């Protein structure tokens, strides 16, 4: 039996992020091939109730790392608690979700434990006893296959929605290990003063299965009501291009792209978005891309699965009405 394979089980306000289950389900294959235990590692405050969430998706063990100073995510607090546990237990691999938290935490932990890290991966494969991960480079223009060497611990982060979670097996159980990390207030150099929540019930862009995004072609913030109506009908989350966010039409949390959020939904509808490489870098791994733009030369049309060359102000309301009709049948 090897030293163990870990998945950082990201949770917020007592809710485990979906990407955790996606990674656990798929990394189970690596654990089986290498004959190692698979463990979920969950950090927070008063998180004991989450301990049974991980076994159904393949975990053999759940480390529940609880402390008052982990109630609110901070890079310093989480990095120290997780790094100390890694040094103590010496897992061979640690996987993260490439979420806002994961992208912040993974490199800090990797540096502390001297581990190799491949970030923002979209898939992996086994080559004998080697794990090879695939990740985009140069704003998604090329993909690199990355193997690890000269490192005792392999680390990688995976984009949400690129891996498919297996159906949970309710009969599976896992050993639960409660951990109280050595943490002091002096270990945390940054204090969180306020957390601004998004609208209740809104699915985070990185985990959304369907997204409708608007760009410069929307012409103003008032026209996003049209996008929001279509999104509401098909159960989608609303996104935006950087141009729309820079113009103040949408909040930064809606931005999709190289300097915004990286998303991989099953369906991505781009309305009035030219499709510049910076935007494509954030949504190029979408399973289905639909583009609506009146400019037939827009770059988005060379990257989409379906394209409509027409005025979005005619197309989007017509599309919304048609979907409503279909759903009423």
| 3-class secondary structure per residue, the chain | CCCCEEEECCEECCEECHHHHHHHHHHHHHHHHHCCCEEEEEEECCCHHHHHHCHHHCCCEEEEEECHHHCCCCHHHHHHHHHHHHHHHCCCEEEEECCHHHHHHHHHHHHHHCCEEEEEECEEEEECCEEEEEEEECCCCEEEEECCCCCCCEEEEECCCCCCCCCCCCCCCCEEEEECCCCCHHHCCCCCCCCCCCCCCCCCHHHCCEEEEECHHHCCHHHHHHHHHHHHHHCCEEEECHHHHHCCCCCHHHEECCCCECCCCCEEEEECCCCCHHHHHHHCCCCCEEEEECCCCCHHHHCCCEEEECCHHHHHHHHHHHHHHHHHC
What is the predicted pLDDT for the residue at 2? 55
What is the predicted pLDDT for the residue at 201? 61
**Regions in the chain scoring below 50 on pLDDT:** 1
What is the predicted pLDDT for the residue at 252? 92
pLDDT tens digits for 150-171? 888 999 999 999 999 999 999 9
Domains in the chain (CATH in brackets) are: 5-187 (3.40.50.620), 205-328 (3.40.50.1220)
pTM for the full model? Answer: 0.88
What is the predicted pLDDT for the residue at 1? 43
């Amino acid at each position: 039996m090897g030293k163990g394979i870990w998945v950082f089980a990201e949770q917020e306000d007592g809710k485990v992020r979906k990407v955790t289950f996606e990674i656990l389900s798929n990394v189970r294959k690596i654990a089986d091939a290498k004959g190692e235990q698979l463990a979920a590692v969950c950090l927070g405050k008063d998180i004991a109730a989450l301990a049974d969430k991980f076994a159904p998706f393949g975990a053999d063990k759940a480390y529940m790392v609880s402390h008052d100073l982990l109630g609110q995510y901070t890079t310093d607090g989480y990095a120290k608690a997780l790094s100390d546990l890694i040094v103590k237990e010496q897992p061979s691999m640690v996987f993260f979700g490439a979420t806002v938290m994961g992208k912040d935490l993974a490199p800090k932990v990797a540096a502390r434990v001297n581990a190799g890290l491949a970030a923002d991966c979209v898939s992996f494969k086994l080559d004998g006893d080697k794990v090879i991960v695939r990740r985009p480079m140069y704003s998604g223009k090329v993909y690199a296959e990355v193997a690890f060497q000269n490192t005792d611990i392999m680390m990688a982060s995976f984009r949400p929605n690129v891996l498919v979670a297996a159906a949970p097996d309710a009969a599976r159980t896992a050993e639960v290990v409660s951990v109280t990390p050595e943490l002091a207030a002096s270990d945390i150099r940054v204090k969180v003063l306020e957390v601004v929540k998004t609208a209740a019930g809104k699915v985070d862009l990185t985990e959304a299965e369907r997204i409708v995004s608007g760009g410069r072609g929307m012409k103003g913030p008032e026209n996003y009501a049209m996008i929001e109506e279509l999104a509401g009908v098909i159960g989608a989350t609303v996104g935006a291009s950087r141009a729309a966010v820079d113009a103040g039409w949408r909040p930064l949390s809606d931005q999709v792209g190289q300097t915004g959020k990286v998303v991989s939904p099953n369906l991505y509808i781009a309305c009035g978005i030219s499709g510049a490489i910076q935007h494509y870098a954030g949504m190029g791994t979408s399973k289905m891309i639909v583009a609506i733009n009146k400019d037939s030369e827009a770059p988005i049309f060379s990257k989409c699965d379906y394209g409509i060359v027409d005025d979005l102000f005619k197309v989007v309301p017509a599309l919304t009405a048609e979907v409503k009709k279909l759903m009423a049948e």
